[in-house]
Amino acid sequence: MIRKLLQKIPSPFGLPQRKRTTPTVIPASQHSLRRERLSRHAVTVVERLQQAGYQAFAVGGCVRDLLLNIEPKDFDIATSATPEQVRATFRNSRLIGRRFKLAHVHFGREIIEVATFRANHEEETSAEQSRQSESGRLLRDNVYGTFEQDAQRRDFTINALYYDVSSGQIHDFAHGVHDIRNQQIRLIGQPEQRYQEDPVRMLRAVRFAGKLGFEIEPHTAAPIEKLAPLLHDIPAARLFDEVLKLLMSGQGQRTFDLLYEYDLFAPLFPDTDEAIIDRPDYTLQLVRQALTNTDERIAQGKPVTPAFLFAALLWPALPQRVRDLEAQGIPSIPAHQQAAHELLAEQCRHTAIPKRFSIPMREIWDMQPRLARRSGRRADQLLEHPRFRAAYDFLLLRESAGEQTDGLGHWWTLYQDASPDERRRMIRELGSDKSSSPKRSRSRSRRKPRNNAPDA
Ligand code: ATP
Ligand code: MG
């Protein structure tokens, strides 16, 4: 298939480790990318920049994905124009930039991101313009450069392809087309150094391998396990964004397996990693099932929320914290509350979970013991709870990982479909069941949550 898409591409002469300054230019007749496949607005931006006398290309993920016949998420443009010059060319543009300055050109709801060519940090001399931390990480990287330099500072060869919408040519500085054809994720330059400059590139390697089903080429893969701890230096907000891209883009399960294989999961979710060591079968089953469900929902176009996924990823780490607190003499219910609070706070030091996700996540957790207490009017009240559906799905997930709940998930499945009469009967039948009796619930509540968290 891919071979068919990329016809007669000239073969490279060696690894792209060696720096090259002239790109291979692949004419339109030798590749499958057609400008009609690009967003109309991306084409407009490139053409207007070219008419204004600048170089401009579609670049990065959109070129890569289109060559693979995948619908791109967005369209990035690289240009020789400075952000201010882009701003002056498009009335409908705004300058943005935290890590570096970019122009956003707005067309209704579509935004085309336009970045000025930037240099690879090795090639510029001014310490002012590009600072590195002690571990070699680039702290600021806002140095404009040439077309060639822009290609060299990109992460992977498959992300350094530039498509000229006017001529139809693809400019390939790093044998990216060859690597697309051979399904390889290959860093440009010296892998260890490129990871030290930006450790997030390790996550990106795994992300593209998972998304595209590619292999991480051996030199690119080799340093990852050793350098994985460098992720601890990355701001937690950036890592949260990366985790969403890794696990909520439709190939979450496969990507998790790769993260785990390359020791990249532990720096992101240290408590869950401990839980995998303690109880591998249960924890891996729960995490992988949660991701499989997420992937299926995405494939079906159903909504997915980070609240549910983070609830699942962290749930196996709760019991150990509860046990530690109980061992200090804290009673079960407050121990559960405190454990949840502390686990979440600790996790936010690694991946900063915004409140709009962490609040519903806690609600999903807090509903778990409540789902067992169904007597009187409680079951109907629970059904009305805005978080019921998520809590019920979460219960089924726990059961699918082997948690013993006495058929609670099945009971709720039946109850939701039951007629009012049947519901009354189901509640009456619970009467003899001590665990759901309102009279006994107070005395039992001390013990109850223990049943709702996975056993040690
Ligand atoms: P996606 O399909 O996820 O959007 P993408 O390749 O477009 O994939 P982006 O994060 O949108 O990824 O980045 C756009 C381009 O910018 C990349 O293709 C790559 O060329 C470059 N890039 C992004 N992040 C880095 C990085 N950390 N180091 C070097 N180059 C990067
Ligand atoms: Mg992109």
The series of mean pLDDT values per 10 residues for the chain, 456 residues long, is: 45 42 87 94 97 97 96 95 96 87 95 93 47 54 84 96 97 96 97 97 98 98 98 97 97 98 98 97 98 98 97 97 96 94 98 98 96 93 95 97 95 96 94 50 38 42
Q: Please indicate whether residue 324 is annotated as part of the active site.
A: no
Task: Give me the pLDDT at residue 430, please.
Answer: 87
Q: How far is the CA of 196 from the centre of ligand 2 (A)?
A: 22
| Nearest protein Cα to ligand 1, atom 2 | 61
The reply to whether ligand 1 has any atom less than 6 angstroms from the CB of 242 is: no
The reply to whether ligand 1 has any atom less than 6 angstroms from the CB of 155 is: yes
Q: Which residue has the tokens 């240290």?
A: 270
Of 76, 141, 172, 198, the active-site residue reads: 76
Q: Please indicate whether residue 241 is annotated as part of the active site.
A: no
Task: Give me the pLDDT at residue 132, please.
Answer: 59
Of 65, 150, 155, 164, the active-site residue reads: 155
- With the most atoms of ligand 1 within 8 angstroms of its CB, the residue from 62, 66, 70, 76 to mutate is 76
Q: How far is the CA of 235 from the centre of ligand 2 (A)?
A: 21
Closest-CA residue to 65 (of 148, 150, 2): 2
The β-bridge relationship of strands 102-107 and 24-26 is: unpaired
| Nearest protein Cα to ligand 1, atom 8 | 61
Q: How far is the CA of 361 from the centre of ligand 1 (A)?
A: 30
| Nearest protein Cα to ligand 1, atom 17 | 60
Q: How far apart are CA 161 and CA 175, in angstroms?
A: 9
Task: Give me the pLDDT at residue 451, please.
Answer: 41
What is the helix (H) or strand (E) element at residue 368, kind and residue range? helix 355-372
